[in-house]
Structure 1
Amino acid sequence: MPLVRDHIEGYPETIPFTKQGVEVPGTKKPGQTGHYRNGVWGLLTRNTPNALTTITEIYDSGMRVGKDAPFLGRRPLISTNPVKYAPYYEWQTWGQVDHRRRCVGSALSLLFKTGKLGGAGELETVGIWAMNRPEWQIVDLAIATYGKVDVSIYDTLGKDAVEYIINHSHVTSVFTSADHIPTLLKLKPKIPMLKAVVSMDDFTAETRTILTQWGWSVGVHVMDMKEFEAIGEANLIEPIPATPDQLVSICYTSGTTSNPKGAMLTHGMLALSVQANLYGLNLPDEGSTMSYLPLAHIYERITELATISTGAKIGYFSGDPLRLIEDCQILKPSLFPSVPRVLNRVYQAAMLAGDVPGLKGALFRKAIQAKMEKLHATGDNTHFFWDKLVFRKIQAVLGGNLVLVTCGSAPIHGEVLDFLKIALACDVLEGYGMTENCGTCTKCWPFDPSASGTVGPPQAVTEIKLIDVPSMNYTSEDKPRPRGELCARGENIMKKYHKDEKNTQEAVDEEGWLHTGDVAEIDDFGRVRIIDRVKNIMKLAQGEYVAVEKIENTYSSSAAVAQLFVHGDSLQSYLVGVVIPDPLHLSAIASRLSSSKVTPDDVKSLGEACKQPEVVKEFVNILDKEAKKGGLKGFETLKRIHLSLDPFSVEDGTLTPTFKIKRKDAYKKFKAELDALYSLGEPGAGSKL
């Protein structure tokens, strides 16, 4: 790994926390702020000395650790009934992965050249539809190395979305897991361009016969990776040099209201984003990254490419979220990329386990106070005594070897981040990005005592500005801080969506600025804070405009809330919502109010508790406290709620694969309950309580 760090500058000896984002003189115009750039590294471009500009360069950089060094690993499956995984990771070396990517890439080149693949569109696209696993990364590296274009499909997507993406991007071959093959073969009449399906799982003799014959009957060649790689091994060619402007990926966003949009990403966009994320990244030489967030999402994609560039290892989870903790304790990762829904669980479990009566609880609270005071005063989140006495067990939950935890994809409460910093005693950094800018826009700096609650300054590859949103009363002249829609520009910004000129023009203006749709403010240190959303604005009966996503994010900061959906009717003057309570908190409340013990796994009793008015009232009080803490106005607060144990999910169509709520589908799921809440009338207005 030092081979890469040699050409990447670190932070200065004295970190200029007060100048993390710096306004470029002479760039301010009416209706917008000036342009802000990173206060240490300025603006990274392909002309910056030693800049990474292609994925091939990223791979070659990591490959220098040596062909025998471990690279991609997973826990072997040792039993299917019951399902059981080995208590260790099995690794493929850099040399083994290099050979496999050459075999896959050579086979793709031959099959496209001979016309057995391709011919459906102007681009040579290749689909990947699978859960995170070593083969996912091997195939993707092969695609990038041999001049093809990847189309990644979320493992959890339903057949309608898969059909749309395959047709829209003209995919003629899909690498997938064996469980998805029947879906693809059944879809064949609706995806006529599909010519080949390659299973990442090895076939048994019986499975091979059934699937290959089924495939031939509908005009699809079905094979497994061994067979496909054998084609390449018999026809090996050298990697094809890439250029920064060469298209390498069509990365589809997970649409909440319409069909997903395909961001067209080049080698240069991805490579420079990786470079920007490497600045200030210090992983140990034998470090590893835990891979469990979907690789079809740009956040995980960039994280793994950054790991690859340093020559570190990537350990893939066993595929079951319930085994993630077990996977971490075996892998002992250095880097744990995460999202609020996971980190909130860690926070909630730690708080419930530690904040108890007696000496144990007193020591826990004393440890939090001491470490929090040190963190806010100095930025140092370690403590020789309290880390060993109190926080060692919490750190061991995720393997005990963490150097960095990153958080993105959705907002997280600053209090949660601060607690995780002191409990895990490692860097816990929040960032902000989108598919359209390769997941790289802003990121907090390590050791910043007051970073929590912000998403940090612009990263080195990006410059940002805010533009006025008059309809929401946000302006660049607001005091004490400028506010407005966040816009970003840089060589990592996509130029267009695939075959979608209308959405392209709405997203990227003629000067190359990406309009994010998020409202932000920039503080005195040049850090960004996301405060609202331009879209998903609705108008209540009395004329007030409300941003439902902002309200949901505010309420979701409560540890008692697992999921929350805010609904408004333009004929009504107030908001209602659905709350999916956290089982641990619900059980505690139900136990207290009923004077009998209710456990978190007692689904029947928890379901009954959700119907009790006093339990509902308790949750309303919890939400009211969050509303007050978050500064919500009276008309932005929930006046009535429905408690349910039936969560929003990807499977029932109410969540996107990145766990954003599909508003129309969420309302449809709880239409009867939400309409019933409105039928009761507004509390305090002569209605029923």
Structure 2
Amino acid sequence: MASTLLQDVSPAPPLMISPLEIPLPEPVDFSKQAVEVPGTRRPGQTGHYQNAVWGFKAFPEEGPVYTLPDVFELGLSLEKNGQTSNKPFLGHRPVISAEPLKFASDYVWSTYAEADERRQNVGSALEKYFRDGTLGGGEYQTVGIWSQNRAEWQIVELACHAYGKVSVSLYDTLGKDSVEYIIEHAHLTVIFVTSQHIPLLLAMASKVPMLKLIVSVDELSSEAKRIMGIWSRTANVQVMELSELEQFGKANRLNMARPIGKSLATICYTSGTTSGPKGVLLTHSNLVSSVKSNLRASHFGEKGGIMMSYLPLAHIYERITELCTMALGGQIGFFTGDPLRLLEDASILKPNFFPSVPRVLNRVYQSAMLAGQTPGLKGYLFRTAMDAKLKKLHETGDNTHMLWDRLVFRKIQALLGGNVELVSCGSAPISVDVMDFLKIAFSCDVIEGYGMTENCGTCTRCWPNDPSSSGTVGAPQPCNEIKLVDVPSMNYTSNDKPNPRGEVCLRGNNCFSTYYKDEKNTRETVDEEGWLHTGDVGEIDSAGRLKIIDRIKNIMKLAQGEYVALEKIENVYGLHPLVAQLYVHGESLQDHLVGVIVPDPTQFAILCNSIRGTKIGANDSAELATAARDPAVAQAVLREITHEAKKAALKGFEMIKKIHLTTVPFSTENGLLTPTFKVRRKDCSIYFKEELAALYAQPTSMLK
């Protein structure tokens, strides 16, 4: 009897599987992925569509996770390979040589227990400074993070979660004006930064007098400390290393200040393409709702989720994927910081979860397609394998093949380390052909989703093994319900046949309610009933999946009165392998569109050689620049990309009629891209003012 009592009161053994990872129930009915709730239709809009399996869940009301500290502590408690708190968590490749730059050939890992200790040290130090008035003075206790992805980024944000601070992420590629704006707007009195950002912060100190403390996440040399010390005293800003802050926190350990669901967790600034950044206020409830929803109908891998981290952590998409990995007790391996070294990092890390974006996945596709053009047996085998696997995928949803995976696609899978079990894709459109190819090439779940900062990157997502999901962004997430609202000016209505069309609107606990200090944009985005208006035009198919078909924002009217959505057109042309970057331009006094194109060097070299009879290589930048000025080459590029426009069924007035080629990439440095690599429309129109005027000055006969 006694032993029975002892058994009843003993601690439960640690869980090996996260209670948040819930698969789709079998059998899966892919023909019914969302349902329209009866009685919710109104004039000018569809009814409310909800997930067909789980309905509309009021996350995070269900336990055991309610706030972001709960997410980390769940991961901390899970058992993996016989380990709980001592299992690996955050990994990186150490630098073993600075001149020349060289990294270790293995990842080095810190554990969940070590992260727990460090978050309490950092959090205690911050709490002490805010309590004694060294920091603070704004509406919220905000903490800035300005760094590339690395373990310290997560440690600082975990500390903010646990001690009731509000993190404010700054994109690593932000320019001076945007940094200055965010520091002032969010009243940042402390910022954690990589060492290269410290001089800029000290130089602007007089313009942001609220900034009191800069914490370097890098170790500073003795000489750098001496110089920074002198400069910081002049600027009235303290500079210290993260290790010093942690020691201070360890000596002044304070209890964690547990947040509640409605507590503000982060101010996530969007990088506007036409205006300044907007501060999206996201609560613990918003973010936990997104995490819980994304862990339904997802399989992060038999190894518990080893994730490759390279997309900017300042972006909500990467933040959510890392929180999901954390909730599973998984591992996060950070890339070395150089996109050109990403495949090397992946081959060493061997991740089984690879969050990605179209600009990366399109390059994988384009490189693979070159193999299909190889003459002889090699090219024949590739094409045969691709045809066989595509046929099986479309008929059954199964993207594996015993022979062709081993013989042909193993090499493509090896690009990402050979162990990938889940590839997620978001942030921009991707073509049906690319998605289908990725599914058969990686022989794993390749899932496209749709979301935005304002809904924690969560709205809809494709289901695993759906044979016809490519081209859609899937069904509503369990935390959302969505509806489509008529857009009369663009002839999209909820009564369209065969499928309803209209502006995508959604609501749920994952959705924000306010832009910080911005009532005007808040009123324009969130209506009185709490519906978030996305500005995207969608279509809901017979299975209940959403397809994004147009964009309301950045619409302009041509001289003949036709409305065109410039972002939509850029997305269509951007799918062509020749196009690396593109800016589409229109004017209300003109009857046609023009464009500026940065061609992909490899594809451009092939086209140039075929047109000019030369032997230019993809690395011959001077020769490619010369070719870009050749009108015959420009016309050839225009002919090629027009095929993509016709394939997408663009109307005649939506097609680009003339183009200017440049081999100088759009970048954050020249002001043509936002930190999330979207085109800054106003800046592009100014930068290319002369080239655009020259295109419109060409005679109309050139439009044929």
C-alpha contact (below 8 Å) 2:22/2:296 kept by paired residues: yes
Instruction: Look up the equivalent residue of 1:562 and give its one-letter code.
Output: A
Which of 343, 362, 368 is the equivalent residue of 2:380?
362
2:126 equivalent in structure 1: 108
C-alpha contact (below 8 Å) 1:639/1:683 kept by paired residues: no
Q: How many residues align?
A: 685
Shift of 1:614: 2.7
**1:481 pairs with 2:494:** no
Shift of 1:620: 1.2
2:523 equivalent in structure 1: 505
| SS of residue in 1 equivalent to 2:674 | coil
Distance in 2 separating the partners of 1:506 and 1:524: 30
1:581-602 CA distance string (max 9 Å, x none)? 1111111111222333221111
**1:32 pairs with 2:45:** yes
C-alpha contact (below 8 Å) 2:22/2:298 kept by paired residues: no
Residues 339/207 of structure 1: CA separation in 2 closer, same or farther (3 Å cut):
same
1:406-427 CA distance string (max 9 Å, x none)? 1111111111011111111111
**1:278 pairs with 2:295:** yes
Which of 586, 592, 605 is the equivalent residue of 1:574?
592
Distance in 1 separating the partners of 2:450 and 2:701: 38
Which of 140, 150, 157 is the equivalent residue of 1:133?
150
Instruction: Look up the equivalent residue of 1:232 and give its one-letter code.
Output: G
Shift of 1:311: 0.3
1:210 equivalent in structure 2: 227
Residues 154/181 of structure 1: CA separation in 2 closer, same or farther (3 Å cut):
same
Instruction: Look up the equivalent residue of 1:64 and give its one-letter code.
Output: S
**1:166 pairs with 2:158:** no
C-alpha contact (below 8 Å) 1:51/1:275 kept by paired residues: no
1:192 equivalent in structure 2: 209
C-alpha contact (below 8 Å) 1:52/1:272 kept by paired residues: no
Shift of 1:642: 1.0
C-alpha contact (below 8 Å) 1:133/1:316 kept by paired residues: yes
1:124 equivalent in structure 2: 141
1:242 equivalent in structure 2: 259
C-alpha contact (below 8 Å) 2:558/2:564 kept by paired residues: yes
C-alpha contact (below 8 Å) 1:32/1:465 kept by paired residues: yes
C-alpha contact (below 8 Å) 2:45/2:483 kept by paired residues: yes
Shift of 1:8: 4.1
C-alpha contact (below 8 Å) 2:69/2:162 kept by paired residues: yes
C-alpha contact (below 8 Å) 1:653/1:662 kept by paired residues: yes
Distance in 1 separating the partners of 2:480 and 2:511: 9
Residues 2/333 of structure 1: CA separation in 2 closer, same or farther (3 Å cut):
farther
Instruction: Look up the equivalent residue of 2:656 and give its one-letter code.
Output: L
**1:542 pairs with 2:560:** yes
C-alpha contact (below 8 Å) 2:60/2:66 kept by paired residues: no
Structure 1 segments, 4+ long, off by >6 Å, are none
Distance in 1 separating the partners of 2:276 and 2:65: 33
Distance in 1 separating the partners of 2:642 and 2:134: 61
Q: Write out aligned runs for 1:377-396 (5 A).
A: 377-396=395-414
1:616-653 CA distance string (max 9 Å, x none)? 22211111111111111111111111111011111111
Structure 1, unpaired ranges of 5+: none
Shift of 1:131: 0.6
| SS of residue in 1 equivalent to 2:475 | coil
| SS of residue in 1 equivalent to 2:38 | coil
Once structures 1 and 2 are overlaid, which stretch shifts more, 212-221 or 519-528?
212-221
2:7 equivalent in structure 1: none
2:581 equivalent in structure 1: 563
C-alpha contact (below 8 Å) 1:649/1:655 kept by paired residues: yes
Which of 551, 555, 572 is the equivalent residue of 1:554?
572
TM-score, normalised relative to structure 2: 0.96
**1:19 pairs with 2:32:** yes
| SS of residue in 1 equivalent to 2:368 | helix
Distance in 2 separating the partners of 1:332 and 1:492: 32
| SS of residue in 1 equivalent to 2:145 | strand
Shift of 1:12: 1.1
Shift of 1:3: 4.0
1:583 equivalent in structure 2: 601
Structure 2, unpaired ranges of 5+: 1-13, 79-83
Shift of 1:571: 1.1
**1:672 pairs with 2:685:** no
1:84 equivalent in structure 2: 102
Distance in 2 separating the partners of 1:2 and 1:380: 31
**1:177 pairs with 2:217:** no
Q: Write out aligned runs for 1:452-491 (5 A).
A: 452-491=470-509
Shift of 1:5: 3.2
| SS of residue in 2 equivalent to 1:17 | coil
| SS of residue in 2 equivalent to 1:420 | helix
TM-score, normalised relative to structure 1: 0.98
Question: Percent identity over the alignment?
Answer: 57
| SS of residue in 2 equivalent to 1:485 | strand
Which of 302, 307, 312 is the equivalent residue of 1:289?
307
**1:58 pairs with 2:71:** yes
Shift of 1:10: 1.5
Distance in 1 separating the partners of 2:231 and 2:555: 49
1:118-149 CA distance string (max 9 Å, x none)? 12x12100100111000000000000100110
Instruction: Look up the equivalent residue of 2:72 and give its one-letter code.
Output: Y
1:636 equivalent in structure 2: 654
| SS of residue in 2 equivalent to 1:559 | coil
Distance in 1 separating the partners of 2:662 and 2:244: 49
Once structures 1 and 2 are overlaid, which stretch shifts more, 207-216 or 26-35?
207-216
Instruction: Look up the equivalent residue of 1:264 and give its one-letter code.
Output: L
Which of 316, 328, 341 is the equivalent residue of 2:359?
341
Distance in 1 separating the partners of 2:245 and 2:304: 32
Q: Write out aligned runs for 1:609-624 (5 A).
A: 609-624=627-642
**1:41 pairs with 2:54:** yes
C-alpha contact (below 8 Å) 1:374/1:380 kept by paired residues: yes
Residues 55/225 of structure 1: CA separation in 2 closer, same or farther (3 Å cut):
same
Distance in 2 separating the partners of 1:47 and 1:240: 20
Shift of 1:377: 0.5
Instruction: Look up the equivalent residue of 1:551 and give its one-letter code.
Output: I
Residues 39/613 of structure 1: CA separation in 2 closer, same or farther (3 Å cut):
same
**1:269 pairs with 2:286:** yes
| SS of residue in 1 equivalent to 2:59 | coil
| SS of residue in 1 equivalent to 2:332 | strand
